[in-house]
Structure 1
Amino acid sequence: MTAAADSPPRKRPFWTIERRDAAAGYVFIAPQLIGIVTFVLIPLGLVFWYSLHEWNVLANTFNFVGSANYQMLLNDKALPQVLLSSAIFSAGLVVLNMSLALLLAVLLDQKLKGIVVFRTLFFSPVVVSLVAWTIVWSFLLQNNGGINGMLQMIGVEGPNWLRHPSTAMLSVVVVQVFKNVGLNMILFLAALQGVPKELYEAARVDGAGRFKQFRRITLPLISPTILLTSIITIVGSLQVFAQIAVLTQGGPGMSTTVLVYYLYQQAFQFHFFGYGSTLSILLFVIVAVLTFAQWQLRKRIVFYEN
């Protein structure tokens, strides 16, 4: 027999190219994965665990109650009003924010002298402290505040914006719109600048007007950004807290008591931490369902996807 036949087969090295590539991939995703596990999955599991208990911090008791908190959720007479207020706030914020952001983006997409200054002015509220912004508006919207003072100059008697049921929710929505409209405006502006100009030139040659160009060219090509901003805006609207806490404290009555503020009241004011955790689970389910529904709608509103 030859020497080659007598020699044992060579062992494949453990640290192959495939394993090195896989290890590098795991290293790159490790920070994000650790963050998701630490700050999302574990807290979510703990919230569900707390929702099955009644935790009284003052009495230092932690008792298992099973589904009692979920039964309380179904029987809560205040919850329909809370969900209605949340829906009104979210609908008003999404419609006004996205409409105004798109309008501003179209106007600021023009090549005019000094347009950069206006872009900066409209975006500047985004970087302002949320609490500081809300406190300033709370003074402006008082009965004797700046808004009513300007209305009196033209002979109009303004209402007590934050203490009247018909204007309190509108006031909170407007304050939030002015705070964050600049972010969506920048996203829309970036999308508009990515639309090929040749398409507009071809449409003008064919006799299409500005509105038809906007409907047939602009909207379809910026539809991925519309989807992104709608998801961000809806999820953000369902998590609003500071504006309600500073401006209205959920009043008058419960007209501006949204779900997150109601959750805060139950857990940290009334010390019903188990029921507060149950409301957190409800909020998570609502956000997850709405996000999933929007993501499924992408096949209809994002036109260039296959």
Structure 2
Amino acid sequence: MPKLTLKIDADTYRGTRVGVPNLISQLRRHGAGATFLFSLGPDHTGWALKQIFRPGFFSKVSRTSVVEHYGIKTLMYGTLLPAPDIGKTCADFMRQAHAAGFECGIHTWDHRVWQDNVRTADAQWTTETMQQAYGRYHDIFGHAPRTHGAAGWQMNDHAFVQLDQFGIAYSSDGRSQLREDGSLADQDAGPHRLSVFGKPLSCVQLPTTLPTLDEILGRTIRGKLIDAGNAAELLLELTKTPRDHVFTLHAELEGQKLAPIFERLLAGWRAQGYELVSMGDYYQSIQNDVLPILPISWGELPGRSGDMILQAM
């Protein structure tokens, strides 16, 4: 049975408090596994306004209704409003996911700061920032994390090395290369290990293989304008041929306004014969395979602005 891994990024204070409990209920109704990855420090979402000069920013904002999905208050955190400390104020919501039987892991310390700075950061900044997230995770859950998923699919060489030093067995820090219609550009895309500073790392990478909802909504794909009514149909078309996949969703989106689309996806993937699993479940199924060792690669994907970690072809 092919596996469809559900990787949930909780980026914000609101997403953790509202979206995470909603997703827990929805996933349990469907008997689906999933991995929740948490931002564990301050919510500086308001700093995203600095991106107004970034190519593609305005088109994404207009397509995905950022204000509607994230809320005015969230978009003021770190600017007109103080940044709430997610790990301190939302720890109980995080522990709810663990108590409900879902795998939990690290997304980042401060989503905005990491996404904007890590690519060019030095070893000291990278290590100190990751240590903050690691320590906070341990404080909340009482044990060390086993998995990680980078904010904005942004990393650097030092960050990948640090995952090995933490003993992170598997992570989802990058993306597979996609065509304009969302299909995989490389049919061999999937689990791999990275080579950094001339040495292979132990951590297994489980890249996201499907486009995210915010990357397809509002775009014309395969001759159709993709909206809330047909977004699930497009993704189900992409998964029609059985193979393992990793799908990234967001507590701020699928956990709130886009929940009806996710509901159709869950039912549709079940009907297609997929087992809906966590990253840990997926890792257990492939850990004995001989995996390719690939270099770190960067590039852009349709529907998302800026470079991110892409699986080398």
Structure 1 length as normaliser, TM-score?
A: 0.25
Structure number, greater radius of gyration? 1
Structure with a larger share of its residues in strand? 2
Structure 2 length as normaliser, TM-score?
A: 0.25
Structure with a larger share of its residues in helix? 1
